[in-house]
């Protein structure tokens, strides 16, 4: 149990460090990109190159994914302070969210089908 807790802690620390590197990189290079996206790109590069093996972050990332809903509580509470905005523009925001989600699903589906077709050749 102690070993698993230790693994979770240092793996989350590693993920946090990569995130902070992304934030620092964006600030240092004055990029118009969110720091968390830069951190994800850095993590992708590290995983794709084999510098970091997936097993090195499996336990920590699994823990974070298992408790993912917990991270939406602050966002949900924060939205409560925008009640007037939700009453005024809630329908427009909902349409934007639904349409963008549908576009994301369609693009993902088309990409998967294209990659599957490539793999069959």
Domain for residue 89, yes or no? yes
Are 13 and 58 in a shared domain? yes
Domain for residue 78, yes or no? no
59: containing domain: 1-71
Per-residue pLDDT tens digits for 71-118? 878 877 887 888 888 888 889 989 999 999 999 999 999 999 999 988
Domain for residue 98, yes or no? yes
Note the pTM of the prediction, 2 decimals: 0.63
Q: How many CA atoms lie within 13 A of 63 on its CB side?
A: 14
Are 7 and 46 in a shared domain? yes
Q: How many domains does the chain have?
A: 2
Q: Is the four-CA dihedral 37, 42, 45, 48 of positive or negative sign?
A: negative
């Amino acid at each position: 149990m102690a070993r698993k807790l230790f693994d979770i802690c240092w793996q989350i620390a590693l993920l946090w460090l990569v995130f902070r590197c992304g934030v620092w990189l964006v600030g240092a290079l004055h990029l118009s990109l969110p720091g968390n996206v830069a951190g994800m790109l850095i993590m992708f590069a590290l995983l794709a190159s084999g510098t970091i093996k997936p097993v090195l972050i499996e336990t920590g990332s699994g823990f974070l994914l298992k408790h993912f809903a917990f991270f939406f509580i602050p966002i949900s509470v924060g939205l409560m302070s925008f009640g007037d905005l939700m009453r005024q523009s809630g329908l427009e925001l909902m349409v934007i969210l639904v349409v963008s989600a549908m576009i994301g699903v369609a693009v993902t589906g088309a990409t998967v089908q294209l990659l599957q077709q490539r793999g069959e050749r």
